[in-house]
Amino acid sequence: MASHKQIRVGDVLIGGGAPVAVQTMTKTETANVAATLEQIRRAAEVGADLVRVAVPRDEDAEALREIVAGSPVPIIADIHFNHTLALKAIRNGAACVRLNPGNIGGRDKVAEVVALAREAQTPLRIGVNSGSLPAHLRDLEYEDPIEALVQAAVGFVELMESLDFTDFKVSMKSTSVPNTIASNRLLSERIPYPLHLGVTEAGTKWTGSLKSAVGLGTLLADGIGDTIRISLSTFQAEEEVKVAWEILKALKLRERGPVLIACPTCGRLQFDMDSVVVEIERRLEAYPDPIEVSVLGCAVNGIGEARHADFGITGAKDAGMIFSRGEPLKKVPTGQLVDELFAEIDRWYAAGKTIVRDERAAAEAAQWLSENEDTSAMTPERLAALEEEAVRAQQAAEAELAERSPVAGRRFSRD
Ligand code: SF4
């Protein structure tokens, strides 16, 4: 269930229907202000709405003042064990403080942090991790780890409410993807507060991105989750942000920059599409609009399923074609496909986001396409389309049969 309550972290709204916010965490020593700010700026450039920094020592809490002043996005202070660091972080301007109420020294110390947070109007993030559950839940954790996580989170929520404090979001992280999904589904039914999602210690860029896409994507598709962080074993925080955005873009929850679509390739491929796709992806990073760019490995299908793309290329051994919204634009030598694609995109921008068509070049491209298209070839795309058609036909036949049934529309009841 989507969260009902909304909080504000700096100028970013979280929960209650606000767009899902993207977070990352710096990997630098926080007290190294120059390095930390540089990483924050890089993360913000690629779309981080919020950045969290670790505050394990006094010097890190001290550095917050300068970091907050120089950061383009709100800063969240990450505190463990030491409630005085949480107090300092609030005094030094952190937009939010992340803490685990179970490990900062008992109710009185939590109450002290809450009192200052209320006075400074600083929201908190209450974090529960599968690796650090309260002692009274250890047995339950063994029998039912999902319920144990949820009970720990609900217990901390009740602690906050007993202190008359509701300006917080909740995170409940596990290294297990199924447990992350199940526990957040359960928690979202039990509390109205915004949820921060993440799969903790997800792994390398490759495995971590996949685990996060499956775990967070499943929850986000259900409308659960208000802010996300992708935890990756990399020193480049911006890589986490890029993955987070791809997940949100794939689910059409938010738009940012171009969307690249590429065919999976098969035995019909006649040019080095691997490096072409990488090159296009890299160059598209410079463009702000959500334009859709499609790369097809051959022209056998015609423009096919890429018909809706704003721009696309389809290649062959010596020549290829650039198209837009299903219409051929020009035929070019394969080696110039990428440069010419970007020349067309730039021309589109220069003309106020309208296509500038050279009719002669377009006719030549259409001719090339008709020579290279093979409507009888059983390509992966056509097989998928045939399968889809067969499923639809079967569903229609079943629906018709059900309508013709002599008992159609009758209600059966044992009452
Ligand atoms: S048939 Fe489809 S998958 Fe194979 S190269 Fe052509 S466009 Fe790509």
pLDDT digits (tens, 9 = 90+) for 356-369: 899 999 999 999 99
Residue span of the structural domain in which 166 resides: 7-250
Ligand 1 center to residue 120 CA distance, Å? 58
109 and 196 share one domain: yes
pLDDT at 411: 62
CB distance 377 to ligand 1 below 6 Å: no
pTM of the shown model: 0.85
In a domain, 383, yes or no: no
Number of domains making up the chain: 2
Ligand 1 center to residue 105 CA distance, Å? 61
Position 16 confidence tier, pLDDT thresholds 50, 70, 90? very high
Position 282 confidence tier, pLDDT thresholds 50, 70, 90? very high
pLDDT digits (tens, 9 = 90+) for 96-118: 999 988 888 788 999 999 999 99
Question: Which residue, among 349, 344, 381, has the nearest Cα to 361 in the 3D structure?
Answer: 344
Helical residues (DSSP H) of 5-162, grouped into ranges: 33-45, 58-70, 83-91, 107-120, 138-143, 145-162
- Domain CATH code at residue 303: 3.30.413.10
Which helix or strand (DSSP H or E) is residue 321 part of?
Answer: strand 319-324
Q: Is the pLDDT of residue 415 over 60?
A: no
pLDDT at 284: 95
DSSP class of residue 164 equals: T
Indicate which atom in ligand 1 lies nearest the CA of residue 269.
Answer: 5
The residues that bridge with 315 in the sheet, in sequence order, are 320
Using the 3D structure, point to which of 250, 267, 293 is the last residue of a domain. Answer: 250
Q: Mean pLDDT for the chain?
A: 92
182 and 304 share one domain: no
User: What's the CA gap between 150 and 187, in Å, rounded?
Assistant: 6
pLDDT at 311: 96
Test site for ligand 1: of 298, 375, 383, most ligand atoms within 8 A of the Cβ: 298
In a domain, 132, yes or no: yes
User: Could you give the 3-state DSSP secondary structure of residue 26?
Assistant: coil
Ligand 1 center to residue 314 CA distance, Å? 9
In a domain, 412, yes or no: no
177 and 305 share one domain: no
69 and 156 share one domain: yes
Most confident segment among 196-205, 276-285, 385-394: 276-285
208 and 266 share one domain: no
Using the 3D structure, point to which of 221, 250, 279 is the last residue of a domain. Answer: 250
Test site for ligand 1: of 261, 269, 378, most ligand atoms within 8 A of the Cβ: 269
189 and 223 share one domain: yes
Average pLDDT over residues 173-184: 91
Average pLDDT over residues 395-407: 81
Position 414 confidence tier, pLDDT thresholds 50, 70, 90? low
CB distance 262 to ligand 1 below 6 Å: no
Contacts of 277 (CB under 8 A, 6+ apart): 260, 262, 295
Ligand 1 center to residue 331 CA distance, Å? 18
Test site for ligand 1: of 261, 268, 295, 317, most ligand atoms within 8 A of the Cβ: 268
Indicate which atom in ligand 1 lies nearest the CA of residue 264.
Answer: 3
31 and 102 share one domain: yes
- Domain CATH code at residue 48: 3.20.20.20
Q: Is the pLDDT of residue 247 over 70?
A: yes
Q: Is the pLDDT of residue 294 over 90?
A: yes
Structure-block tokens of residue 6:
């909304």
220 and 295 share one domain: no
Q: Is the pLDDT of residue 412 over 70?
A: no
Q: Is the pLDDT of residue 209 over 90?
A: yes
pLDDT at 413: 57
In a domain, 331, yes or no: yes
CB distance 91 to ligand 1 below 6 Å: no
Q: Is the pLDDT of residue 167 over 60?
A: yes
32 and 128 share one domain: yes
pLDDT at 104: 83
234 and 294 share one domain: no
Residue with tokens 């020592």: 57
272 and 221 share one domain: no
